[in-house]
Structure 1
Amino acid sequence: MTATSADSSYTARHLSVLEGLEAVRKRPGMYIGSTDSRGLMHCLWEIIDNSVDEALAGNCSQIRVVLHADSSVTVEDDGRGIPVDVEPKTGLSGVEVVFTKLHAGGKFGGGSYTASGGLHGVGASVVNALSARLDVEVDRGSKTHRMTFHRGEPGQFDDRGKEPSPDSPFEPFVSRSELAVVGKVKRGVTGTRVRYWADRQVFPKDARFAYNELVTRARQTTFLVPGLRITVRDERGLAGTPGEDGPSEESFVHSGGTVDFAEFLAPDAAVTSTWHLTGSGSFTETVPVLDDRGHMTPQPVERECEVDIAVRWGTGYGTEVRSFVNIISTPKGGSHQAGFDAGLLKVVRKAVEANARRLKVSTKDGSEKIEKDDVLAGLTAVVTVRLAEPQFEGQTKEVLGTAPVRGIVARVVEKELTARFSSAKRDDKTQATLLMDKVVAEMRARVSARKQKEISRRKNALESSSLPAKLADCRSNDVGSSELFIVEGDSALGTAKLARDSNFQALLPIRGKILNVQKASLSDMLKNAECAAIIQVIGAGSGRSFDLEAARYGKIVLMTDADVDGAHIRTLLLTLFFRYMRPMIDNGRVYAAVPPLHRIEVVGSGRRKGEYIYTYSEAELNTTLRKLDKAGRRYKDDIQRYKGLGEMDADQLAETTMDPRHRTLRRVTAEHAEASERVFELLMGSDVAPRKEFIVAGARELDQSRIDV
């Protein structure tokens, strides 16, 4: 192409289209946050959210997302379809306005959408500007309309009968744009299909769509928009994805809304059923409005805020609260979540005060006052509000800033929860009683843990009397090197005292089997002498107030006998740590000692006197004996079988179990936390039937000779 022809092809038409989108290409981070995989996903959500907004308005029931093998992506919906008629102010079709003009669309002024995820009208045009190619097809008026863009500029690609590609020759429109009619559809069929190829001049080649993130948010969206079906299909064949062996497709649809979402998120057994709290309120907001003369003038506007909340309390003490404005996740909360917290605390406090005599709560001196953390313990909640043009703090929409929403949400929560607590229905009364018992138990545990934390720091020699008398503490103050052995029984304690290195090894004996805390309440756990002693000696509190930095020992070693009772005691101890001192396990600071089961005494000339071999299982014993026989070495027939730690002398215990140079420790981990929680609930929980089924199913695999009788 000559210089003259090149100059003549660059017209004012191109300037009018690219004047806004060029800013997007120069500063993409301002619009999508980054140009890595996160920015790529942000672009995809901009297109998907446009379809979800149609569903929020009640005009769309299905959305389909396809990740193609050529790195492009298609988003298809059965909504009303983007308007195809000419927009009078610009003289352009609605399709071209949406995909080429910043701050243009149906989200302003409340004309088309009363509540939507899009607010600024830049989503589709930003994605278009950052795409090497974007094709949009609209089914509307019994016709299929089509328009294509190259880095934001409308024109035509010549695919020459091949698959669409951003590398095909492109001819931009010069005099005017053309919204081509490329087919027909049945009367009443509407929808929009957008397929785009991200521009690799903007995004690096290794930036990819995250399948797991896409599926997680698709599922979340279907919870928030009941009845909407979202289908995700992956045709890329990437390793590590469900579609690595061929195209994979998943569909999500939920009809229960926030109630289903809360039950999906709940990690523990239920104390209450999932309560659905709904309501609405209105407020007046002053906003600038465009008048007939084209001037922006401030005018009061009446806003309606709809509140939809699902709450559910479980047996655990963790808190899972998800908040949303329309379909926008607000991970840092805002006025709606603040209103939820305030309403929740107010209602529960009133309910506890009204039942103070039954709950044995003293409210006179203020020492037993319900705090927010007490109410939030074990809570799973989904808090959603819907309103037109919400105000967010910052570009990322992570915090809702519309102040009147706080009062509306608080009033709805107060009204709906009060009705639950005062209900005459037997089921509601039972659940309200259980909830108040749980909240009061959490309050007392918090107060008790705070007191324990204050008195359970490592004491010097003059202050050691505050720790349990049965604790044989170590001399070192270095937490990193110190070890606490929790020993089964006083008989083993005597031997362990002689076997330990008192510089860094401390001993705490426990008598028999401690309380099963999986079934017991918090107050019962704290009343139990053995549990209280363990918590006090470790010195970091328990439950929600547990402070890992305050732990007095670097390692906790559970040293129990190598028999069935020892395994049971170890399980009970692990249950205590898992439920109330979980960070110790998560940080790899809890260990189980591995004492031997047998001692073989080898005899014979030419060998050193008193050579002993320790084995840790029947299989290892048999293997070792065969090896000795094969090597022609003799051993005494009376092989010692240790029934407990107390049968060892100090040298044997030190060599096999306590001396860091020779011992074997098994680290306790909780990498698969959900699976661990289910196992603890099965083996130690209050539900007997599943445990009976587990025992019956495994009975055939048990070697009866291993049981001590």
Structure 2
Amino acid sequence: MAETPNYSEDSIRSLDWKEHIRLRPGMYIGKLGDGSAHDDGIYVLLKEIVDNSIDEFVMGSGRTIEINISEHKVAVRDYGRGIPLGKVIDCVSKINTGGKYDSKAFQKSVGLNGVGTKAVNALSSNFVVQSYRDGRTKIAEFEKGELIRDEPEKETTQRNGTAINFIPDDSIFRNYRFIPEFVDNMIWNYVFLNSGLTVNFNGQKYFSERGLYDLLVRNADTETIRYPIIHLKGEDIEIAMTHGQQYGEEYYSFVNGQNTTQGGTHQAAFREAVVKTVREFFKKEYDASDIRASIVAAISIKVQEPV
């Protein structure tokens, strides 16, 4: 019979933020993997950092993001407002610390939980953050979430913004490597969802002027579509759609910039609306499956508190 473990006061442990993230990384970033799948952890780390830069763009600060990936090192530089210098360390190392809890400051933000950047920090063998703000700069360096360098503020001539460099910890992401195609697709989605944003990735420029219209042009076979792409855009919703020659239905759906690959209520509502609109226009009860057959559509919505 197995021996019953002793359960006493000595059995109770309290973990600090970085220990818990490193012990249970899946709670924070999902699967780990080695980079061979598009949703492996190293791409989540990259996305968590870039999402913050996207939020700055959405708020009207910084129209360019630079991303460089060399071997295992990732560098992201934006030209937003920069992290307030007195809070640089807190913003990357204290759970639930951030500037997005006040909905007036960051309505419909990509990231709201105050955890993302801290998870990147804890799961990186090296993590360096530098903020440039109003002619001054602050830099801090971490190893596996542990602060190892805290430089005093100093003057700078660099433009406002934030630069983050990190190396995913290979003891967690074993034998990992970034596959350029996966990063390429991620960045295209960023620019399609944020018209006017420029992203430079390893020297290549990504830019979209027409948003989801451009997404369909890139992903659909434009030589076989049955009619020109319909593109509608409002304050919190954007759609692009056409019908092609392929079998079935094809959707690209997003909520607050997140690619909802499993669909959701927004996609279901769109599918219903297409059927209703066609039936009302022609005043005939066409079968829903016939109306949606071979549809290719992209849907993006923004909501303040997505469920």
| Identical aligned residues as a percent | 32
1:79 aligns with 2:80: yes
Bigger Cα Rg: 1
CA distance in 1, matches of 2:21, 2:63: 32
Any stretches of 5+ residues in structure 2 without a counterpart?
1-13
CA distance in 2, matches of 1:35, 1:314: 37
Q: 1:42 aligns with which of 21, 39, 44?
A: 44
Higher relative contact order structure (alpha carbons within 8 Å, sequence separation ≥ 6): 2
What code does the residue aligned with 1:117 have?
V
Residues 192, 320 of structure 1: alpha-carbon distance in 2 compared, 3 angstrom cutoff? same
1:231 aligns with 2:200: yes
Q: Deviations over 1:475-499 (max 9, x none)?
A: xxxxxxxxxxxxxxxxxxxxxxxxx
Q: Deviations over 1:204-256 (max 9, x none)?
A: 1x1112211001110111011001111111xxxxxxxxxxxxxxx32110111
Match of 1:22 in 2: 19
Contact 1:266 1:380 in 2 (8 A): yes
Match of 1:141 in 2: 134
Question: How many angstroms does 1:44 deviate by?
Answer: 1.2
Q: 1:328 aligns with which of 253, 258, 268?
A: 258
Specify the SS of the correspondent of 1:23.
Answer: helix
Note the 1:58-69 alignment, pairs <5 A.
58-69=60-71
Aligned length: 288
Specify the SS of the correspondent of 2:105.
Answer: coil
Contact 1:307 1:386 in 2 (8 A): yes
Specify the SS of the correspondent of 1:180.
Answer: coil
Match of 1:507 in 2: none
Match of 2:157 in 1: 185
Any stretches of 5+ residues in structure 1 without a counterpart?
1-15, 86-93, 157-177, 234-248, 281-305, 357-368, 392-709
CA distance in 2, matches of 1:371, 1:60: 47
Specify the SS of the correspondent of 2:85.
Answer: coil
What code does the residue aligned with 1:49 have?
D
Q: 1:351 aligns with which of 258, 281, 284?
A: 281
Specify the SS of the correspondent of 2:127.
Answer: strand
Q: 2:206 aligns with which of 246, 252, 264?
A: 252
Contact 2:88 2:138 in 1 (8 A): no
Question: How many angstroms does 1:319 deviate by?
Answer: 2.5
Q: 1:215 aligns with which of 184, 201, 208?
A: 184
Q: Which has the higher strand share?
A: 2
TM-score (norm 2): 0.88
Contact 1:223 1:257 in 2 (8 A): yes
Match of 2:5 in 1: none
CA distance in 1, matches of 2:304, 2:212: 20
Contact 1:100 1:128 in 2 (8 A): yes
Contact 1:21 1:102 in 2 (8 A): no
CA distance in 2, matches of 1:208, 1:264: 26
Question: How many angstroms does 1:345 deviate by?
Answer: 0.7
What code does the residue aligned with 1:229 have?
T
Q: Deviations over 1:298-326 (max 9, x none)?
A: xxxxxxxx111111223444432111011
Runs of 4+ in structure 1 displaced over 6 angstroms? none
Specify the SS of the correspondent of 2:209.
Answer: coil
Match of 1:11 in 2: none
CA distance in 1, matches of 2:259, 2:213: 17
Contact 1:77 1:191 in 2 (8 A): yes
Question: How many angstroms does 1:372 deviate by?
Answer: 2.5
Q: 1:385 aligns with which of 298, 301, 307?
A: 301
Question: How many angstroms does 1:31 deviate by?
Answer: 1.0
Match of 1:527 in 2: none
Match of 2:122 in 1: 129
CA distance in 2, matches of 1:33, 1:325: 19
CA distance in 2, matches of 1:151, 1:270: 50
Residues 316, 44 of structure 1: alpha-carbon distance in 2 compared, 3 angstrom cutoff? closer
CA distance in 2, matches of 1:264, 1:311: 13
Specify the SS of the correspondent of 2:16.
Answer: helix
Q: Which has the higher helix share?
A: 1
Q: Deviations over 1:126-160 (max 9, x none)?
A: 0101111111111102012111112112222xxxx
Note the 1:659-698 alignment, pairs <5 A.
none
Contact 1:145 1:183 in 2 (8 A): no
Contact 1:130 1:198 in 2 (8 A): yes
CA distance in 2, matches of 1:42, 1:99: 16
Question: How many angstroms does 1:272 deviate by?
Answer: 2.1
Residues 62, 202 of structure 1: alpha-carbon distance in 2 compared, 3 angstrom cutoff? same
Q: Deviations over 1:309-352 (max 9, x none)?
A: 11122344443211101110011111111111111111111223
Match of 2:9 in 1: none
1:114 aligns with 2:44: no
1:200 aligns with 2:170: yes
1:52 aligns with 2:84: no
What code does the residue aligned with 1:373 have?
S
CA distance in 1, matches of 2:207, 2:234: 24
CA distance in 2, matches of 1:316, 1:24: 44
CA distance in 2, matches of 1:266, 1:73: 31
Note the 1:616-695 alignment, pairs <5 A.
none
Contact 1:57 1:114 in 2 (8 A): no
Question: How many angstroms does 1:179 deviate by?
Answer: 4.7
CA distance in 1, matches of 2:48, 2:300: 20
CA distance in 2, matches of 1:133, 1:332: 34
Residues 210, 370 of structure 1: alpha-carbon distance in 2 compared, 3 angstrom cutoff? same
Q: Deviations over 1:560-597 (max 9, x none)?
A: xxxxxxxxxxxxxxxxxxxxxxxxxxxxxxxxxxxxxx
Q: Deviations over 1:370-424 (max 9, x none)?
A: 2222122232211010122312xxxxxxxxxxxxxxxxxxxxxxxxxxxxxxxxx
Residues 278, 67 of structure 1: alpha-carbon distance in 2 compared, 3 angstrom cutoff? closer
